[in-house]
Amino acid sequence: MLTYNQRAEEQSATIHMLQKELEELKEYQQHQVRQAQEDRDELQIYRDRCMKLEAEHELRQAEV
């Protein structure tokens, strides 16, 4: 049978492990949020470029 101190130490270790896991999950979530924003920004750049190229293409077609 575990003594009170042993049980307290086990619970403390478990809490520490869970806190560490929670912190890692928070960091992962923050990374994912940053990555998603970077992806949205990059996608917007590509959309803008595409619209510019389409406009230039339409101008060239109109000149012909």
Give the model confidence (pLDDT) of 26-60 as tens digits: 999 999 999 999 999 999 999 999 999 999 999 99
Q: Where are the beta strands (DSSP E) in the chain?
A: none
- CB atoms under 10 Å from CB of 12, counted, come to 10
Whether the predicted model's global pTM rises above the 0.85 cut:
no
- pLDDT at site 63: 85
3-class DSSP state for residue 2? coil
* pLDDT of 2 over the 80 cut: no
Q: Contact, 52 vs 44, CB < 8 A? A: no
